[in-house]
């Protein structure tokens, strides 16, 4: 169900699965927005956030329960779905349900995980590690191709300098596309302040739109963002998620920039 070569697409959803009712509410709202805007859409939510700042943080419903929810969203709403996998054993199980596998940034160089994901035959979205240069993604592409994967994306989500902050170098988007890769910009993790709140990550939500605007103007194939009806009530990444009520307006403006950039 995930389109092979959409002109521009959206990957969006909550950071982590909470209730099934909430997941359906967010997915159906995003589906309506994307349909109205003529935008290819893939719903994203994690069944397990294995890299939370604190051992006491909510991680999600787990793989079995989470994949069941994602499967029902896919079947009932007719939308592609994606989720992240953290271990090799999760790849095949997730691929049986989702349309796109996501490899987290911290695990972007894990050879066994990349090969296990590639072996599923599903398209793969690899988050570019916060510690990697654009040229380092060539080695990741080699691993994916050696495992049989021919359809993959790389997502830019900022570079960490170890001071509870991320910096987005827009040159990376151009460097990655020049190397022939399909590139996604992560508008919400890029504004994260990792562990800035001690036991949780903070962030600068107000910067999401300016950075997304810049990324779309530079040129990307897709946009990734996390959203929630009430971000402050989310158990994960509440400081950076876009309020669901603001997504439509944000996308309308970004699509105008995308159209203008294509003509230039």
Structural domain boundaries in the chain: 9-263
pLDDT tens digits, one per residue of 187-237:
999 998 876 455 556 678 899 999 999 999 999 999 999 999 999 999 888
Q: Which CATH superfamily is domain 9-263 in?
A: Aldolase class I (3.20.20.70)
Residues 35-68 have pLDDT tens digits of 999 999 999 999 998 876 667 677 899 999 999 9
Distance CA 26, CA 182 (A): 26
Tell me the pTM: 0.93
- What's the distance, Cα to Cα, between the start and end of the chain in Å? 31
Reported as a single tens digit per residue, the pLDDT across 155-191 is: 999 998 877 788 999 999 999 999 999 999 999 999 9
* Cβ burial, residue 206 (10 Å; 0-12/13-18/19+): exposed
- The label of the residue with tokens 């403006």 reads 253
């Amino acid at each position: 169900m995930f389109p092979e070569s959409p002109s521009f697409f959206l990957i969006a959803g909550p950071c982590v699965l909470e209730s099934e009712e909430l997941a359906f509410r967010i997915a159906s709202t995003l589906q309506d927005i994307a349909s109205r805007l003529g935008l290819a859409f893939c719903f994203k939510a994690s069944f397990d956030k294995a890299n939370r700042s604190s051992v006491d943080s909510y991680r999600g419903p787990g793989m079995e329960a989470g994949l069941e929810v994602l499967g029902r969203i896919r079947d009932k709403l007719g939308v592609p779905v994606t989720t992240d996998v953290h271990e090799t054993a999760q790849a095949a199980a997730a691929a049986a349900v989702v349309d796109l596998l996501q490899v987290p940034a911290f695990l972007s160089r894990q050879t066994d995980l990349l090969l296990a994901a590639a072996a599923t035959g599903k398209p793969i979205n690899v988050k570019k590690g916060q510690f990697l240069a654009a040229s380092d993604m060539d080695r990741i592409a080699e691993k994916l191709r050696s495992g049989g994967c021919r359809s993959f994306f790389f997502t830019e989500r900022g570079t960490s300098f170890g001071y509870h902050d991320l910096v987005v170098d827009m040159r990376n988007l151009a460097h990655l596309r020049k190397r022939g890769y399909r590139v996604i910009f992560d508008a919400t993790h890029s504004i994260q302040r990792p562990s800035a709140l001690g036991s949780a990550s903070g962030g600068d939500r107000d910067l999401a739109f300016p950075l997304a605007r810049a990324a779309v103007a530079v040129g990307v194939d897709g946009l990734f963002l996390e959203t929630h009806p009430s971000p402050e009530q989310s158990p994960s990444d509440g400081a950076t998620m876009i309020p669901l009520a603001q997504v439509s307006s944000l996308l309308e403006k970004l699509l105008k920039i995308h159209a203008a950039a294509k003509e230039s």
